[in-house]
């Protein structure tokens, strides 16, 4: 046991791959950079010892940013377009909705107006509200434009996609502004007429998922996943270069322990996650859900030193993580609630056991993620190595024949979404997949 741990803790395989990813530049879904990142990841998995490393392509709605603007009566303010915003403009009264909670929209008169909301939620609020939920509440209330105000200080306008699976391009022009610009808009122009405009090149594009395998050729498999795309404004080190680097590091570690794997382990680095979980959604439509024993989805790892695992109401997943924490004397946070905002979700929503593997943070939301500041200097090599040790051992345990993990019924997941007050957000964004 000591030998493999020392090998992982001194390995540079994952970190080197992370450096390669951030040096590409733009890894936006459907871009040449995303394709280059996919090819590098395929080759890195093969070099680590995984077999049948390959790309699987699929069509997406491409979106490339052009110019965008927020023009107030006395000045033009800095902004960036939100991906999949339509190429459009709107001139109307600005309404500052603060946090943009569902009740804030209910109390506002937004018809024909431009809504501005913060990217965070108040400390007292019971759940996180995703950007897309706020956007579609604005659309539902008749707004003609949307301004997304970062809560993280530092003159960092946030990005993040809008749109739905059925209608990838959103309904109204949407831009992100920094915390400081948002404060200025609220102070000087709330109730005043402003203009929001977005220019974007929208057309057909291609993305791809990366697959590779280790272990015996069993029908049953454990998926170890991440996403390789990133928003075009930054290096995407945190979101999600680190997750894909972790997948490569785990492949390298598990190749050395392949004789311990009793179930096939399939590594999948998804494309087009940042524009609506498109790559994982494509995979979920093709895959036999019954054959998937568990998913270990890495999206948000290495951001903090302690792993946090959302377990989606699967007691066996929570117990497995707690066993690893005890075995290594290293803390792991487990969160039993549902988390519908990463590549595990197209599977978990139908009852497939899955972790969303992140790391603990005192911040609300993504912190540096989805901003210009998502750079390599925000992560540490030691954290990647420490977390890789825990996740390697976890994956070996999940792959053991005696480790049984019961799938859940989709009706149970739907009921949990209702009980955890997540159903409203899923329905307003068009993501509710159930009949009821």
- Residue 1: band (very low, low, confident or very high) from pLDDT cuts 50, 70, 90: low
Tokens of 78: 């800095």
Sign of the C-alpha dihedral computed for residues 34, 433, 159 and 354 taken in this order: negative
| CA–CA dist 374, 385 (Å, integer) | 20
Q: Residue 361: its pLDDT value, please?
A: 78
DSSP 193-251: EEEEEEEEEEEEEEEEEEEEEES---SSEEEEEEE----TTS--IIIIIHHHHHHHHHH
Q: Taking Cα atoms as reference points, which of 321, 325, 301, 300 lies closest to residue 312?
A: 321
Contact 355, 297 (CB under 8 A): yes
pLDDT above 60: residue 154: yes
Q: Is the model's pLDDT at 24 over the cut of 60?
A: yes
Nearest to 250 by CA among 136, 372, 385, 134: 385
Q: What angle do CA 226, 353, 390 make, to 5 degrees?
A: 55
pLDDT tens for 267-276 read: 999 999 999 9
pLDDT, one tens digit per residue, over 319-362 is 999 999 999 999 999 999 999 999 999 999 999 999 999 999 77
């Amino acid at each position: 046991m000591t030998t493999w741990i020392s090998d992982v803790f001194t390995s540079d395989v994952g970190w080197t791959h992370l450096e390669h990813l951030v040096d590409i530049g733009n890894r936006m879904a459907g871009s040449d950079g995303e394709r280059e990142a996919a090819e590098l990841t395929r080759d890195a998995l093969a070099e680590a010892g995984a077999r049948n490393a390959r790309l699987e392509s699929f069509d997406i709605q491409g979106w490339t940013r052009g110019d965008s603007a927020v023009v107030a009566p006395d000045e033009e303010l800095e902004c960036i377009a939100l991906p999949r915003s339509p190429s459009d403009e709107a001139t109307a009264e600005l309404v500052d909705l603060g946090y943009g909670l569902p009740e804030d929209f209910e109390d506002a008169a937004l018809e024909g107006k431009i809504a501005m909301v913060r990217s965070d939620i108040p400390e007292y609020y019971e759940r996180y509200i995703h950007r897309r939920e706020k956007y579609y509440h604005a659309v539902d209330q008749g707004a003609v434009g949307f301004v997304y105000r970062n809560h993280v200080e530092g003159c960092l306008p946030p990005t993040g996609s809008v749109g739905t699976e059925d209608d990838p391009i959103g309904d109204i022009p949407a831009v992100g502004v920094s915390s400081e610009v948002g404060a200025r808009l609220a102070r000087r122009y709330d109730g005043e007429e402003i203009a929001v405009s977005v220019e974007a090149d929208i057309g057909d594009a291609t993305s791809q998922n990366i697959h590779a395998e280790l272990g015996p050729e069993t029908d049953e498999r454990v998926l170890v996943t991440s996403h390789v795309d990133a928003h075009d404004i930054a290096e995407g080190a945190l979101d999600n270069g680190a997750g894909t680097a972790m997948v490569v590091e785990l492949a390298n570690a598990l190749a050395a322990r392949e004789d311990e794997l009793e179930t096939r382990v399939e590594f999948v680095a998804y494309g087009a996650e940042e524009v609506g979980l498109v790559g994982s959604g494509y995979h979920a439509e093709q895959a036999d859900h019954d054959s998937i024993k568990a998913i270990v989805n890495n999206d948000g790892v290495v951001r903090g030193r302690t792993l946090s695992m959302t377990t989606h109401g699967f007691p066996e997943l929570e117990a497995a993580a707690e066993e690893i924490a005890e075995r290594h004397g290293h803390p792991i946070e487990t969160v039993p609630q549902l988390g519908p905002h990463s590549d595990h979700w197209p599977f978990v929503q139908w009852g497939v056991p899955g972790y969303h593997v992140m790391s603990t943070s005192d911040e609300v939301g993504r912190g540096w993620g989805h901003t210009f500041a998502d750079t390599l200097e925000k992560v540490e090599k030691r954290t990647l190595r420490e977390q890789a040790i825990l996740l390697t051992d976890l994956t070996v345990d999940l792959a053991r024949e005696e480790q049984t993990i019961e799938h859940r019924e989709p009706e149970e997941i739907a009921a949990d979404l209702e009980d955890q007050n997540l159903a409203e957000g899923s329905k307003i964004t068009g993501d509710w997949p159930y009949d009821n």
